[in-house]
Amino acid sequence: MAGINTEEVRERKPGRPRAVPESVVPDVLRLYDEGLGYRAIARELSKRGVSADWSTVRRIIKANRSGPGAALEMTCRALSTLF
């Protein structure tokens, strides 16, 4: 059968590939800890040549933060932007 390389098909993982490389995750978390918001982090990534929307940045942060302290921190950050 022409056109299909079975070795290549077996090596791929199922599902959609990640939008952002795993090597960027520590940078995203560091920038967030420095006090940058989702949109500012997305702008910083675009300056580095990584295309990521603010919602992707939010997903990365939420996926790598856990526990009640992280939820409280995000709530406090959201409230601080209102005042």
Average pLDDT, the chain: 79
Give pTM, 2 decimals. Answer: 0.61
CA-atom Rg of the chain in angstroms:
17
CB 54 within 8 A of CB 42: yes
CB 28 within 8 A of CB 45: yes
CA distance 80 to 52: 24
CA distance 2 to 81: 58
Report residues of the chain scoring pLDDT below 70: 1-10, 12, 66-83
CA torsion, points 39, 36, 51, 20, in degrees to nearest 10? -120
